[in-house]
Amino acid sequence: MKRIFILMGIALFVCFSCSKKDKHPTREEWLEVYLTQKIKNTTELWKQRVAVIVVIDPKEKTIVTSLTSSNGQDEISETAKREYVEQVEVIINSILEDCDLAKIYKLVVQYI
């Protein structure tokens, strides 16, 4: 299952990359893929299965990450939602600090 998600992400990434004239992914595109992969690796260990969407707006310099319960999963409590959001914020902030990008991007994490 994990490999399927990774392959789907890579396939989408390649499709978007091939549609551009310069054929080179931007820093934001690489960062989206990398963040999505790291977050999914962590969320696979959680009791509640969640879907993750990461979108980076290069003009606004904002990373928007949305979490939601996967298909067939029960709704979770507000406390659990806050905990999940906090854990994802820690993951993203640590990656941004490692890449020296923490001062460039604003971060928005939400559980919808």
Q: Which residue has the higher pLDDT, 99 or 108?
A: 108
Confidence category of residue 95, pLDDT binned at 50, 70, 90: very high
DSSP secondary structure code for residue 74 in this structure: P
Res 2: pLDDT: 61
Cα(first)–Cα(last) distance of the chain, in Å?
A: 23
107 three-class SS: strand
Return d(Cα 66, Cα 76) in angstroms, integer: 15
Query: Per the structure block, which two tokens stand in for 45?
Result: 């260990």
Confidence category of residue 101, pLDDT binned at 50, 70, 90: confident
The structural domains of the chain, with segments of one domain joined by +, span 2-111
Res 16: pLDDT: 61
At CA 84, angle to CA 68 and CA 7, rounded to 5? 55
Task: Give the pLDDT confidence of 3-61 residue by residue, as tens digits.
Answer: 665 656 666 666 665 555 556 788 889 999 999 999 999 988 888 889 999 999 989 99
Query: Residues, the chain, total?
Result: 112
Query: Per the structure block, which two tokens stand in for 23?
Result: 């054929």
Return d(Cα 77, Cα 62) in angstroms, integer: 27
Res 24: pLDDT: 79
CATH number, span 2-111: 3.30.300
Instruction: Catalogue the long-range contacts made by 25-30 (C-beta closer than 8 Å, 24 or more residues apart).
Output: 26/58, 28/56, 28/58
Q: Which residue has the higher pLDDT, 45 or 87?
A: 87
29: closest CA among 56, 7, 52?
56
